[in-house]
Amino acid sequence: MTYKPPNGASGGAPPAGLAALRRANLSLVLRELRDHKSLSRAHIAEATGLHRATVSNLMAELLERRLVREVGVEHVGAVGRPRRAVALHGAHVGALGMEINVDYIAVHGTDLSGRILVERRVAYDAMGSGPDSAVRRLGLVAEEAVEAMRRAGASPAGIVVAVPGLVDVVRGVVTLAPNLYWHDLPLADQLSSLLSPLRVPVRVDNDANLAALAEYTSGVAAGTPYLVYLTGEVGVGGGIILGGELLRGADGFSGEVGHLQVDPNGAQCGCGRIGCWETKVGLAALVRAAMPEQAYGLPGMPVPDPGERVADLARGLASGDRRMTTAVAQVGEWLGLGGSILANLFNPRVIVIGGYFASLAQWLLPHAQDQLQRLVVAAPAAQCRFVASTLGFGAASRGAASMVVSDIIDDPTTIMDSSPRPVPH
């Protein structure tokens, strides 16, 4: 399988107008199949409004590219001609999502139909390593993931990397990631250079935006058209779904909710400002209050996987540790206060909390929901509720992989042929 960038041109191509129409129709068919387990050609024609002959012609191309497969026969009614059903396939087409955060790198690799090929999280001190070392480590993890996917029979058609900060998506530049101490880092170009032998396109996006997409498509509140997602990491970010669409803002920098000022007399944030919301509810703030002997940034203290820190907290809370209980109650109240600001601004139906928030939800949410209901202004906003994500710390990498899949479905002609690419030795 080879991959062609979406805007690439090739000799002997049909006229631009016809090619664009065909791409749009191929995409229309794949989107219909993505939303259903299987469909007959006749059902696809009825659902899309395309002529049956057109659907048959499109299906022939998709079968040749191995993006769909025939899965059996549908019998409609007692009499009538049986209909041959097709389903989304693409087992040879991979999508690799990655996330780099303060204390870990996560990967989530799937094929086009969503079959998980690789999923792992590696503890890594990205905050203390500097951008050059972090990018090199990210490249090594990516190479390992790509090899694992190819052993499973799928060659990645793209890689999307999630980063906790402001990202210029078009250029692939991390404009500012305060908790990583990154400024104007051309991450897409640097990672592409490291991975050049693999010939896989690389994109970069904000972690909370990608996690919000994952929640909207496959999370606990999937399909909710007005939804806010909150990361629960060392820092805090937000992804906002309005009317079923991701809100990016004029420059693509929306969702930096962790830097709302909630306490003018509070602590200094990694962004340089005072009293940001993440200084009250980020994992670093909770660890500092609940387990000060394990606080982030202590000299000589190794950076464990965030899941290990959260597991320690959960055990202490379950045993009734007074210091931990007090710290979590305070974080829950600040979580509810910030959530009320978002509810007043965007009027979502749900605020999905991810990362460590979700892991400690049974202790956090009673305090947060009380504050939310007390501080919302409009009565309908009181219908908004906090819900805990079931995607864990892997939400952003999962959303990153789904973005690669969406790119392929938007333009299936990027998949040029069905021949497998050999694994490099």
CATH number at residue 66: 1.10.10.10
At residue 425, the pLDDT reads 41
Who wins on pLDDT, 37 or 391? Answer: 391
402 lies in some domain: yes
Who wins on pLDDT, 35 or 203? Answer: 203
At residue 16, the pLDDT reads 66
pLDDT > 90? residue 53 = yes
CA 355 – CA 389 distance, rounded (Å): 8
Same domain for 118 and 83: no
- What are 238-294's pLDDT values in tens digits? 999 999 999 998 888 888 999 999 999 999 998 899 999 999 999 999 999 999 988
Same domain for 46 and 23: yes
Q: Using 50, 70 and 90 to split pLDDT, how confident is the model at 304? A: confident
422 lies in some domain: no
Same domain for 127 and 56: no
377 lies in some domain: yes
Could you give the percent of the chain with pLDDT greater than 70?
Answer: 90
CA 392 – CA 256 distance, rounded (Å): 20
Question: Range of 127's domain?
Answer: 93-210+396-414
- What are 126-135's pLDDT values in tens digits? 988 999 999 9
If we measure between CA atoms, which residue out of 417, 277, 423, 283 comes closest to residue 356? Answer: 283
At residue 35, the pLDDT reads 82
CATH number at residue 206: 3.30.420.40
Same domain for 127 and 26: no
In the block, which residue shows the tokens 């009734």? 320
- In degrees and rounded to multiples of 5, residue 238 shows phi and psi of -135, 140
Question: Quick count: other Cβ atoms within 10 Å of Cβ 251?
Answer: 10
Same domain for 243 and 383: yes
Give the total number of structural domains in the chain. 3
- What are 339-395's pLDDT values in tens digits? 999 999 999 999 999 999 999 999 999 999 999 999 988 765 458 999 999 998 899
C-alpha dist (Å) from residue 111 to 87, 90, 160, 256: 14, 6, 14, 31
Who wins on pLDDT, 258 or 415? Answer: 258
Same domain for 258 and 149: no
pLDDT > 90? residue 117 = yes
57, 88, 119 - which closes a domain: 88
pLDDT > 50? residue 9 = no
Same domain for 308 and 244: yes
C-alpha dist (Å) from residue 164 to 5, 15, 245: 26, 42, 20
Strand partners, 106: 99, 121
At residue 81, the pLDDT reads 62
What is the largest distance, in Å, between two alpha-carbon atoms of the chain? 77
At residue 18, the pLDDT reads 86
Same domain for 52 and 147: no
Which helix (H) or strand (E) segment holds residue 387: the answer is strand 385-388
28, 63, 88 - which closes a domain: 88
Name the CA radius of gyration of the chain, rounded: 23
54: which 2 tokens? 């057109």
Q: Is 176 buried (19+), middle (13-18) or exposed (0-12) by CB count in 10 A? A: middle
Question: Quick count: other Cβ atoms within 10 Å of Cβ 156?
Answer: 29
Who wins on pLDDT, 190 or 298? Answer: 190
In the block, which residue shows the tokens 């219909």? 32
If we measure between CA atoms, which residue out of 289, 293, 285, 177 comes closest to residue 232? Answer: 285
Who wins on pLDDT, 74 or 395? Answer: 395
Question: Quick count: other Cβ atoms within 10 Å of Cβ 314?
Answer: 17
> What's the average model confidence in pLDDT over 405-412?
91
Who wins on pLDDT, 79 or 32? Answer: 32
Least confident piece of the model among 13-27, 41-55, 135-149, 201-215:
13-27
CA 350 – CA 281 distance, rounded (Å): 19
CA 55 – CA 33 distance, rounded (Å): 12
118 lies in some domain: yes
DSSP states of 139-185: HHHHHHHHHHHHHTT-EEEEEEEEESSEEETTTTEEEEETTTTEEEE
At residue 79, the pLDDT reads 52
Q: How many CA atoms lie within 13 A of 399 on its CB side?
A: 30
Same domain for 274 and 385: yes
If we measure between CA atoms, which residue out of 418, 394, 411, 360 comes closest to residue 162? Answer: 394
7 lies in some domain: no
At residue 74, the pLDDT reads 61
389: which 2 tokens? 């994500």
Task: Return mean pLDDT, the chain.
Answer: 89
40 lies in some domain: yes
Same domain for 201 and 339: no
Same domain for 379 and 307: yes
pTM (2 decimals)? 0.84
Same domain for 127 and 39: no
For the chain, count helices (H), then strands (E).
14, 16
Q: Answer yes or no: are the C-beta atoms of 93 and 1 closer than 8 Å.
A: yes
